[in-house]
Structure 1
Amino acid sequence: MLEPAIAAALAADDQHIAVAGAGGWIGLATLDLLEQALGDRIADRVSCYGSATRTLTLRSGRELQQAPLGALKMLDARRIWLLHFAFQTKDRAEAMSEQAYRAVNDAISATVLEAATTLPVEAMFVASSGAATKANDPLASPAMRLYGQMKLDDEDRFADWARVHGRRTVIGRIFNITGPYINKHQAYAIANFIMDALADRPIAVRAPREVYRAYVAIRELMSLIFALMAGRSTPVARFDSGGEAMELGGVAQVVARTLDGGSVERAPITDPVPDRYIGDDTVYAALRRSHGIKAVTLDRQIIETADYMRGLAA
């Protein structure tokens, strides 16, 4: 659940929370957290938008209706907080032409920007990505550079919106997160490790170089986001998701120990160039502490993520 004080503040307030990109991992996890904070009032206080009309089912069994993103501009509410998770991610950049990928994300951003400009949106969260740091990295793949550049463009677009219109934008570069609704289990290292541990298989770390990641729980991250959205000190607040940087061999050892899994098989390091995909934890930790948000330990993150993945398997 959200940090109790932040959940209580949300429950006591009356702003409407619009979630764009509600059907993705972060969107669904956020809806789950909002349900815990708001209870049955979620039906009146929260609206969902995405690529198409569909029913979203939360872990509790509650069903929420998602409307097409274009319907966002017709939202009738007096005060609005807008969470912008809608974006085609790197895997889509790998599968589409650059022209098509740019066109679809530009259309998404234009739709959200139009709604944010015309509606009484007080505060907005823009889910950027750690990929923004790879936009000009010659060692990154073309898809990663393209995805990162378009995330940078979104950061600038919505920062300008806040300054021009006297609103509030919180921009978070999200690197590595854990928790319920995690998807792409084969693609995300920690999910892959958890799958191996739950199946009582050796955890295989195959990367031929040192790979460093730092993880935060989605409930910790969203607690900070809601706290920052309530702030009024500056029109734009930016931060990276943080966490303790660890090499994947060490992460695998923590997964195995926490879940009583088997051994860890770490491939030899033959490539001298490390892979580091981590945010600025110094700033993140200071922000977290200033808002009274407790850090979720890595072993607790693993337990919560594994509980969700067990439920999927069942």
Structure 2
Amino acid sequence: MLEAHDLKLLQDKLFEYRAICITGASGWLGKETSDLLLRTLGAEFQDRVTLVTSDGRDIALQAGSFPTISWDSFATSGKFDLILHFAFLNQDKIKLVGHTRFLEINRKITSDVLNVASRNPSGDLLCASSGAASIYPSNLNSNFPYEIYSGIKTEMESRFKTSGTFRNLILMRIWSVSGIYADLGAPYALSSFISQGLRGDSIQVTGPVDSQRTYVNAQEMIWVYIMSLGNIDFNVLDSGGFTISMFDLANLISSSLGNKKVLAKLDTHSALVDYTPDASVFNSLSVNFSLELSKVPEQVELVTKFHTNSEVGIQANIL
């Protein structure tokens, strides 16, 4: 859990960045980042941070509703010292918009960010990539969504790395993340388990008992990435955290919700699918910055407590 002294360290780090931009601010990681910077910058937040969404509609955070600018406005104006870039179509949009359009939109997003960044050659970029780019084949012509997604993420990483546009660049290879703004309707283990548990349903584990994920709290993750700007000599950094099996995660969530009727049903016929990075570098950086990362039980408790508060939890999820 980030404490007051951690936020002070981040505040000092952000001092050099007078104009900050968060793209994809309406997505759940964009909201986690916005919430973190709001907690850190306080009254300066709205003067220094520009939130970007596709349509310019307000976003809801714990502290209230905040204005954003549209993507078109971002692409045609503005000069930023730090861009925190989360805008991207995920693999579930391939079926919705079509294969060709999916690639076109994501390539345009990358081009727009590069164009905006070129207005400030001394600016920095934190860009969200995915662990999928590490473990799945990169094939833009594939019929498999994860291979297409891996391909377009790999292409995006290459364009940013070879652009020469940024003073400091970190490509955040994000694996499994927890947070209060996570969409409980998303088809990911932690969100799905909590959603099922809140309904009082049995938690469905669709992989074998040994299938593993490595979880880190979203705001702690972003904190480490920002603190790493200018402090590491490489530009691709896997997220870290703590590894847990899906069976243990299901039972941990069941216990956290205090619902003895929630049971894990295991499909032991599925192939073992681990989604675990080499977390050693990220975890070492957190130690170097004197941040104690939240362990998985603490992460689960934070998320389940937030979502059992129906007024705050539901509002933050819907908007």
Question: Is the shorter-chain TM-score for this pair beyond 0.5, marking a shared fold?
Answer: yes
Instruction: Report the residue type matching 2:289 in the other structure.
Output: H
TM-score (norm 2): 0.87
Instruction: Report the residue type matching 2:27 in the other structure.
Output: G
User: Tell me, what secondary structure is at the counterpart of 1:170?
Assistant: strand
Instruction: Report the residue type matching 1:61 in the other structure.
Output: G
User: Tell me, what secondary structure is at the counterpart of 1:214?
Assistant: strand
Matched residue, 1:286: 284
| Change in CA separation of 1:227 and 1:44 when aligned onto 2, cut-off 3 Å | same
Preserved contact between residue 6 and residue 223 of structure 1 (Cα < 8 Å): no
Q: 5+ residue gaps in structure 2?
A: none
Corresponding position: 1:267 with 2:269: no
Instruction: Report the residue type matching 1:35 in the other structure.
Output: L
Instruction: Report the residue type matching 2:29 in the other structure.
Output: I
2-structure distance, mates of 1:12, 1:125: 16
1-structure distance, mates of 2:218, 2:204: 25
Matched ranges for 1:154-303 at <5 A: 154-161=156-163, 164-165=164-165, 167-207=167-207, 210-229=210-229, 231-234=230-233, 236-262=234-260, 263-271=262-270, 273-303=271-301
The range that moved more, 191-200 or 276-285, is 191-200
2-structure distance, mates of 1:166, 1:17: 14
TM-score (norm 1): 0.88
Runs of 4+ in 1 over 4 A off after TM superposition: 10-14
Instruction: Report the residue type matching 1:153 in the other structure.
Output: E
Matched residue, 1:107: 108
Preserved contact between residue 255 and residue 261 of structure 1 (Cα < 8 Å): no
1-structure distance, mates of 2:249, 2:88: 29
Instruction: Report the residue type matching 2:227 in the other structure.
Output: A
| Change in CA separation of 1:240 and 1:283 when aligned onto 2, cut-off 3 Å | same
Preserved contact between residue 207 and residue 269 of structure 2 (Cα < 8 Å): no
The range that moved more, 8-17 or 277-286, is 8-17
Corresponding position: 1:26 with 2:25: no
| Change in CA separation of 1:131 and 1:221 when aligned onto 2, cut-off 3 Å | same
Displacement of 1:12? 4.4
2-structure distance, mates of 1:199, 1:212: 24
Displacement of 1:17? 1.0
| Change in CA separation of 1:194 and 1:148 when aligned onto 2, cut-off 3 Å | same
Preserved contact between residue 202 and residue 261 of structure 1 (Cα < 8 Å): no
Preserved contact between residue 8 and residue 40 of structure 2 (Cα < 8 Å): no
Supply the RMSD in Å over aligned alpha carbons.
2.4
Matched residue, 2:78: 75
1-structure distance, mates of 2:156, 2:69: 23
Corresponding position: 1:128 with 2:126: no
Preserved contact between residue 117 and residue 166 of structure 2 (Cα < 8 Å): no
Q: List per-residue Cα deviations over 1:270-300 (Å, max 9, x = no partner).
A: 23x3101121111221122122221111111
User: Tell me, what secondary structure is at the counterpart of 1:44?
Assistant: helix
Q: 5+ residue gaps in structure 1?
A: none
- Of all paired residues, the percent bearing the same amino acid is 23
| Change in CA separation of 1:36 and 1:63 when aligned onto 2, cut-off 3 Å | same
2-structure distance, mates of 1:123, 1:88: 22
- The one of 37, 42, 45 aligned to 1:42: 45
Matched residue, 1:312: 313
Instruction: Report the residue type matching 1:142 in the other structure.
Output: F
